């Protein structure tokens, strides 16, 4: 009986000890260690994600900046090309306008060959020399003058004609064709709007009182003065034509252009 009682007590004590062990709380140090490891892993993971996002954002901003710079450079190049194109168009328009004006003036020169009595052709088709010079039967002299005229009327080589008439005046300073050569030079300079040279040439013509080109030279001097906004001087030349050559075709032109 005593043996059984002893066994019961022993079993009771063992059960109580086991319950105490099972009911004991977990060690605090183990919990703290576990929580610390989890927090450290989470922080490291979060830092890596932020850095990755920052890197992507930085790359995107860099690409956008490069693209914007390229766009700005292209816009600048387009503006420069547009400006150059506009300048070229303007220069071309100015060149065409100058050529158009020159052609108009040269057409006037050609038209006056048949309308102004200062240009007279003889029966052989050569221009009659004006008086005031020494006429020469020198074929070279006549040929040189006629060749210069042909450069205007036939070949339309106006630059060559200027050089030819200048050379003619040097070679034959006392020729009866000298007033005519001054007249033609004046016409060519007038067409090119080289007014100073034109004035000298036409003034040389009117110095020959008997020249059949004198009346038209006076009209041309008036036209040059008018073109340079000197109406008073222009009227003097036109009036001189009316006074000295009242029945001429040049007088008709002067009457139309004179300003009261």
Q: What is the pTM of this model?
A: 0.51
Angstrom CA distances, 99 to 85, 95, 193, stand at 21, 6, 12
How much is the average pLDDT of 243-250? 94
Query: DSSP labels for 121-179?
Result: B-TTSPBPPPSSSB----HHHHHHHHHHHHHHHTS--HHHHHHHHHHHHHH-TTBTTHH
Separation between Cα atoms, residue 194 and residue 184, nearest integer Å: 13
pLDDT at position 187: 94
pLDDT band at 54 (very low <50, low <70, confident <90, very high): confident
Specify the higher pLDDT residue, 181 or 35.
Answer: 181
In the chain, where are the structural domains located?
A: 51-115, 130-257
Q: Give pLDDT tens digits for 105-164.
A: 555 555 544 433 333 333 233 455 544 444 455 668 889 999 999 999 888 899 999 999
pLDDT value at residue 45: 56
Give the model confidence (pLDDT) of 67-97 as tens digits: 888 887 787 778 677 767 777 777 777 666 6
Short-list 228, 243, 245, 238, CA closest to 259:
238
Give residue 251's pLDDT.
93
pLDDT at 176 over 80: yes
**Across 12-21, 25-34, 231-240, which has the greatest mean pLDDT?**
231-240
Task: Select the more confidently predicted residue: 138 or 220.
Answer: 220
Q: What is the per-residue DSSP string for 177-202?
A: THHHHHHHHHHHHHHTT-HHHHHHHH
Q: What is the CATH code for 130-257? A: 1.25.40.10
């Amino acid at each position: 009986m005593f043996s059984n009682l002893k066994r019961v007590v022993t079993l009771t004590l063992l059960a109580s000890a086991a319950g105490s062990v099972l009911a004991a709380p977990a060690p605090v140090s183990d919990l703290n260690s576990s929580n610390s490891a989890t927090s450290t892993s989470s922080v490291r993971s979060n830092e890596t994600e932020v850095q990755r996002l920052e890197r992507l954002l930085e790359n995107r901003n860099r690409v956008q900046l490069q693209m914007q710079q390229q766009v700005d450079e292209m816009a600048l190049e387009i503006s420069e090309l547009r400006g150059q194109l506009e300048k070229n168009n303007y220069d071309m328009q100015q060149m065409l306008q100058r050529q158009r004006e020159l052609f108009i003036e040269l057409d006037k020169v050609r038209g006056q060959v048949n309308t102004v009595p200062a240009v007279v052709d003889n029966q052989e088709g050569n221009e009659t020399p004006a008086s005031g010079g020494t006429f020469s039967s020198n074929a070279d002299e006549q040929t040189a003058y006629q060749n210069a005229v042909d450069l205007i009327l036939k070949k339309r080589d106006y630059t060559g004609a200027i050089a030819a008439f200048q050379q003619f005046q040097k070679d034959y300073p006392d020729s009866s064709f000298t007033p005519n050569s001054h007249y033609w030079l004046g016409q060519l300079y007038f067409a090119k709007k080289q007014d100073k040279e034109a004035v000298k040439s036409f003034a040389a013509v009117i110095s020959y009182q008997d020249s059949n080109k004198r009346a038209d030279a006076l009209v041309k001097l008036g036209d040059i003065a008018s073109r340079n906004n000197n109406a008073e001087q222009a009227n003097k030349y036109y009036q001189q034509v009316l006074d000295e050559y009242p029945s001429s075709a040049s007088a008709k032109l002067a009457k139309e252009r004179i300003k009261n």
